[in-house]
Structure 1
Amino acid sequence: MAEDPDVASRRIAKESLDRDDPSGWFEHLYSAASEGQAVVPWDRGTAHPMLLEWVEEAQPEGNGKTALVVGAGTGWDAELIADCGYVTTAFDISPTAIETARSNHPDSKAHYQVADLLAPPAEWRHAFDLVVEIYTVQALPIALQSQAIKQVTEQVGPGGTLLVIAAARPDDVPDEDVQGPPWPLTRAAIQSFTAPDLRLIQLVQSPSPTDPTILRWRAEYLRD
């Protein structure tokens, strides 16, 4: 019997953590998936439903604007944002993920590249009108999440929007009780995306359509 995708992703993550390489597991997982030895649990073959929902509600007009998609994976979210008219940069730490995204979308208007969220290119700072972060921060160990959150917020330009979608964790669940990945975000973590000039303007918590016991955040922020 094939290994359950969630079990496989946790095993691969643990192997990377044991090697003191907390973000290296992304490449190992995407590489194994490309060889048919694993499945990427979050690769839906379409944009995330909560991103689709936001686009439908907000009707963003991206013409003449720039967007950054964090942890692009195989590219479905980036394609939706590019279709909204944004000049879209989409990055992932996994070279295999980026290769797969380019292969999946050969005529893409998005620009895919390999980069590390924890050490992004300096020219990205405050450079984007829209930053989209879906499930990347929660895929990192809790000890790294504050650093990752800071880097996500740093890329939002003046007047820009940040959209964050993540699994939710109750604040009363201790860190040591969370066996990731993922390591879902508490309300406090969601609120920590704010800054003196980056304010939370909408926060929605809703159940997963496949499992109502799993709650998810959709948070929108605006930089003044």
Structure 2
Amino acid sequence: MKLFHRLAAPFRAALRGLSPVMAPLDGSAAYPSPPELRVPEELKRAVDEESRRKAGIFEAIYAGAEGGGAKPPWDYGAVRPQLREWAEARNLAGGGREALVVGCGYGSDAEYLAQLGFRTTAFDFSPTAIAAARRQHPGSEVDYFVADVLDLPGDWLGRFDLVVESLTVQSMPPDQHSAAARSIAALVAPGGTLLVLATTRDEGAVVQGPPWPLTRAELDDFAQDDLTLRQVERIADGTWWGAELSRDSS
């Protein structure tokens, strides 16, 4: 935990005062968008990529926020607008089906799906985020878990009618993207749907992450076994990917 507090301080300084705006899909009034997370160079030098995943840079950010620092820059404080627009365009209703939210943070997206009638499970790598989600949503019907996307419970495989992945894979180093995509794809039940929301990166573009936005080719990594990529769009003025995949019901 001392490591988390030590790592959190540079993030609080780096994230202070960031407030860009993203235009919604329909061209109406802009809604807030989390900025690109820029990690101080001294932190990148101090902790190698594997250690960052294990020690928890993102746990450090959540711990810093709980200690009165800046809130995580990817957190809207409400359901992600891209998810809401996708759901409303389809008149989405859970009807008791099961949904999973990957990298749920404080749980806004998970609570939204529960309100739509899904039996919802949500997980995050950060214990602090999960504790905060449970505290912020007392009496919630969402099942919140601490879990690693690269080491998920076996009884989750092929279980969920809807899986929502938003910004989690891109928070990981690029050499882990493919493995994370395969792990997420394996969660989708027969007849189920996977929604992937990520910021965009052109092929060959070099970025100093985190985050490491996804290329179009990386979206294909989610198409595992009989999970088929049905639709890919550049949304939010072309700055985000919206990808929908489905698994045959047979």
1:62-141 matches, within 5 Å, as: 62-141=94-173
Q: 2:57 aligns with which of 25, 30, 39?
A: 25
Partner Cα distance (1:16, 1:161) in 2: 40
Normalised by the length of structure 2, the TM-score is 0.80
Partner Cα distance (1:200, 1:17) in 2: 36
Q: Which runs of 5+ in 2 are unaligned?
A: 1-11, 16-34
Q: Counterpart in 2 of 1:143?
A: 175
- Aligned to 2:120, the other structure's residue is in SS state strand
Normalised by the length of structure 1, the TM-score is 0.89
The answer to whether residue 189 in structure 2 is matched with residue 157 in structure 1 is yes
Q: Which runs of 5+ in 1 are unaligned?
A: none
Partner Cα distance (1:94, 1:9) in 2: 19
- Aligned to 1:160, the other structure's residue is in SS state strand
Deviant stretches of 4+, over 4 Å: 6-9
- Aligned to 1:204, the other structure's residue is in SS state strand
The answer to whether residue 93 in structure 2 is matched with residue 61 in structure 1 is yes
Deviation at 1:9, TM superposition (A): 5.7
CA contact (8 A) 1:13 1:181 kept: no
- Aligned to 1:10, the other structure's residue is in SS state coil
Q: Counterpart in 1 of 2:226?
A: 197
Deviation at 1:195, TM superposition (A): 2.5
Partner Cα distance (1:30, 1:22) in 2: 14
Partner Cα distance (2:220, 2:92) in 1: 23
Deviation at 1:8, TM superposition (A): 7.3
The answer to whether residue 62 in structure 2 is matched with residue 38 in structure 1 is no
- Aligned to 1:78, the other structure's residue is in SS state helix
Deviation at 1:63, TM superposition (A): 1.4
CA contact (8 A) 1:9 1:40 kept: no
- Aligned to 1:170, the other structure's residue is in SS state coil
Which amino acid letter does the alignment assign opposite residue 62 of structure 1?
Answer: G
CA contact (8 A) 1:13 1:25 kept: no
CA contact (8 A) 2:37 2:210 kept: no
Pairs aligned (count): 215
Partner Cα distance (2:235, 2:174) in 1: 22
Largest Rg, 1 or 2? 2
CA contact (8 A) 1:22 1:140 kept: no
Q: Counterpart in 2 of 1:10?
A: 39
CA contact (8 A) 1:16 1:22 kept: no
Deviation at 1:181, TM superposition (A): 1.2
Which amino acid letter does the alignment assign opposite residue 184 of structure 1?
Answer: P
Seen in structure 2, the aligned counterparts of structure 1 residues 127 and 17 have a Cα distance that, compared at 3 Å, is farther
Deviation at 1:103, TM superposition (A): 1.2
